[in-house]
Amino acid sequence: MKGNNGKDSPLSVWSVNSVCFAFSLLLLFLALPAGAHAQRAFTIFGNVNLPDGNRAVRVRVRLEGMNGLQQETLTDDQGNYQFFGIPGGRYKLTVTNPEDDKQFTDPTEADTSRSFSNRLQIHLYLRYRITVEEDKPKGGTINVAEATQDVPKRAKKAYEDGLKLKREGKPLQARERFEQAIADFPVYFQALAERGELRLQEREIEPALEDFDRALKINHDYVPALRGGGVCLLELKRPDEAVVRFERAASLKPDHPQTQMMLGYTHLLLDNLDQARKSLENALRLDPKVALRARVYLADCYARDGRFKDAADELWAYLEANPSAPDAARLRSMEIQLRAMAVK
């Protein structure tokens, strides 16, 4: 991701560092003696979040292993779960909510080989299944918060002016018009989100987050504010909070490639590899050009799973499409290392 100055944002730097870190972990794991992990007992723990971001209380968490082990537990009053005395191996975690059978989770992998202690933390996220109705009107969905807005003419004119100036590449003038719209109509959540985006581009992270939060207090389903707030939280290195916003945004608008890419990237930061891989693959299916950087993040996923050739292929595809990337030399070096590891 790039800011207005043409430089990679910290998100791009983090992704490269995470790839390097993954390679180090894999090399260390490969050097361990056979059976070193299987001889230990592990605690697998974490929390479960509802689609609205609140903790999921008294929902059922199920653990299933390739070794045949199956266990279930309920989350506590804070939405936390724990499995004790689990043998080393690979497991799948799923969640069901007895109070809402429309909520689900994708199976999430828990691999004890990625833990360098006897505790493995995996957070889980419930979501709603998205159904597309054939008779929905074209042109997007207007929710109640938007349909019931009574925006003063002056505020609406300032907002529309701001959008036009933004499209013309005049962010300072656009911001002035959005601020006028907010002054005339303080609950204008669209204008708040637009100003937040401009503040984010100028690296005013905390003021941008305040704008997105204000917008969400007015309309908690406003996807641009959810997405923008998630990016702010990533910049502030708060991925546990960011992923909740991206999950919500993706459940409301599953066909947005950038949302899927950021959701996958955040799951990658949290080491939720199955969820990361699915979101990143979704992003590339939706629009491989817009979500091009997802290939770098997907390479990280594959590397952590020991799929070194697939990881190298993703880096090659990224560099083929973007040979002048600022970190091209480093990524090319990683591709060579991955191909060597695949041969070994």
More confident residue, 280 or 22: 280
Looking at domain 37-128, which CATH architecture does it have? Sandwich (2.60)
Q: Would the pLDDT of 55 be above 90?
A: no
Indicate the pLDDT class of residue 120, thresholds 50, 70 and 90: confident
Cα distances (angstroms) measured from residue 342 to each of 28, 107, 111, 339? 16, 27, 21, 5
Indicate the pLDDT class of residue 74, thresholds 50, 70 and 90: very high
Cα distances (angstroms) measured from residue 280 to each of 59, 78, 293, 298, 325? 27, 30, 9, 6, 19
Neighbours of 110 (CB within 10 A): 27
State the Cα–Cα distance between residues 306 and 26, nearest whole angstrom: 7
Give pLDDT tens digits for 227-249.
Answer: 999 999 999 999 999 999 999 99
Among 56, 84, 54, 80, residue whose Cα is nearest residue 69:
84
Give pLDDT tens digits for 4-42.
Answer: 444 444 444 344 344 444 444 444 444 444 444 445 789
State the Cα–Cα distance between residues 308 and 132, nearest whole angstrom: 37
Q: Which two tokens stand for residue 267?
A: 């799951």
- The percentage of residues in the chain with a pLDDT greater than 90, rounded to a whole number, is 51
State the Cα–Cα distance between residues 104 and 224, nearest whole angstrom: 24
Q: Name the residue ranges covered by the structural domains of the chain.
A: 10-23+142-343, 37-128
Among 19, 25, 17, residue whose Cα is nearest residue 114:
25
What topology does CATH give the domain 10-23+142-343?
1.25.40
Mean pLDDT, rounded, for 309-332? 91
Q: What is the dihedral of CA 207, 209, 214, 219, to 10 degrees?
A: 150
Cα distances (angstroms) measured from residue 217 to each of 25, 106, 146, 283? 41, 29, 13, 28
State the Cα–Cα distance between residues 224 and 216, nearest whole angstrom: 10
CB 290 within 8 A of CB 258: yes
Q: What is the pLDDT of residue 2?
A: 46
